[in-house]
Amino acid sequence: MGPALLAIDVGNTNTLAGVYQGDELLHEWRISTERAATADELAAYHDQILRLRGGSLDELDAMIVSSVVPTLTNGYRQLALKYLDRPAIVIGPGIRTGMSLAIDNPLELGADRLVNAVAAYRRYGGPCVVVDLGTATTLDVVSGSGVYLGGVIAPGIETSLDALTTRAARLVKVDLIPPERVIGRSTVESMRSGLILGTVAMIDGLCQQIRDQLEGEATIIATGGLSPMVASLSTQIDQTDAMLTLDGLRMIYEMNMPTASRHDLVEEET
């Protein structure tokens, strides 16, 4: 079955975590990203949730982390050393991903975006586009031969909602529910139309332009918490895959796992 792997994706708003045994996802959960959390606090958060699922940190063999929050990157490094008694694999320079990057400065690329691109190409082939609906709405493009070509970054739906309600005194928070019509008959309907249908229109327009630029077909995969809702309204999105980032972390771990663990995995598979 392979080692028990804890995969952690630290986003600006939420942190997604999952435990894999081989390629089987046993547990997954989401917590709020607390930038000031210490390694001990992070361990407590995850251990508590694992114990509710019948497990614990003590039972884990390895950890891999992608993070866009530098303070928490260090926190998870410390967690692995202190509670798993081994270093974490952290997505960044020197980590094998099997993907070439055709961009000006590879160091600028967010770890989660690279992980998504790797997972999408390995699962769906190329060319493909990953639409990740998080704090930012990002589109990441992979060629037919598996080269990361670049992408698009725009404000996420909830980020846009926060900006509207913070800067416009008469606008209030609304639930992110698709409106029945484009032309809103109230402020709430109008906001939902702009936030949700506006985001869908942006994504569909960008995906069509990307397909045109690639001079051919591309598979569009949506991931992130709001992906099912957006995909249901989109004319361009082909697949939704909520666990794409965690699966990408597992795949990259298998490319970088310690030699002894890799040998054990091969022995068990044979």
Catalytic one among 23, 85, 112, 132?
Answer: 112
Q: Is the pTM of this model over 0.85?
A: yes
Do 46 and 171 lie in one domain? The reply is: no
Asked whether residue 212 falls in the same domain as residue 251, the answer is no
- The structural domain count of the chain equals 2
Q: Tell whether 104 and 158 lie within a shared domain.
A: yes
Asked, for residue 83, whether it belongs to a domain, the answer is yes
Please enumerate in sequence order all residues whose Cβ is within 8 A of that of 87, keeping only pairs 6 or more positions apart, or say none: 77, 80, 81
Check which CATH number belongs to the domain holding 81 and give it: 3.30.420.40
Residues 39 and 140 in one domain: no
Q: Look at residue 162 and give its three-state secondary structure.
A: helix
Q: Where are the alpha helices (DSSP H) in 53-150?
A: 70-79, 111-124
Domain shared by 85 and 123, yes or no: no
The reported pLDDT for the residue numbered 54 is: 85
Which pLDDT does position 219 carry in this prediction? 97
231, part of any domain: yes
* In-domain check, residue 156: yes
Residues 169 and 204 in one domain: yes
In this structure, are residues 29 and 49 in contact, taking their beta carbons and an 8 Å threshold? Answer: yes
Q: What is the pLDDT of residue 143?
A: 97
User: Residue 151: inside a domain, yes or no?
Assistant: yes
Q: Quote the tokens at residue 102.
A: 């055709």
Active site residue 241: no
Inside any domain, residue 77: yes
pLDDT computed for residue 1 by the predictor? 55
CA distance linking residue 49 with residue 27, whole number of Å: 10
Do 167 and 203 lie in one domain? The reply is yes
pLDDT per position as a tens digit, 132-182? 998 899 999 999 999 999 999 999 998 989 888 887 767 777 888 899 899
* Residues 144 and 211 placed together within one structural domain of the fold: yes
Together in a domain, 76 and 154: no
One domain, residues 8 and 79: yes
Q: Which residues make Cβ contacts (< 8 Å) with residue 240, sequence separation at least 6?
A: 221, 222, 223, 227, 228, 231
Please indicate, yes or no, whether residues 75 and 131 belong to a single structural domain of this protein: no
**What residue numbers bound the domain in which 21 lies?**
4-90+246-269
Residue 130 makes CB contacts below 8 A (sequence gap 6+) with 113, 116, 117, 120, 138, 139, 140, 142, 221, 222, 223, 244
In this prediction, residue 2 carries a pLDDT of 67
Q: Which residues of 161-174 are buried (b: 16+ CB within 10 A; e: fewer)?
A: beebeeeeeeeeeb
Q: At what angle do helices 244-256 and 111-124 cross, to 10 degrees?
A: 90
Q: Is residue 95, in this structure, part of any structural domain at all?
A: no
Would residue 70 count as lying in a domain? Answer: yes
- Give yes or no: residues 190 and 129 share one domain: yes
Let me know if residue 175 belongs to a domain.
yes
Low-confidence spans in the chain with pLDDT less than 50:
260, 262-270
Q: 55 φ, ψ to 5°?
A: -130, -165
Question: What pLDDT was estimated at residue 264?
Answer: 47
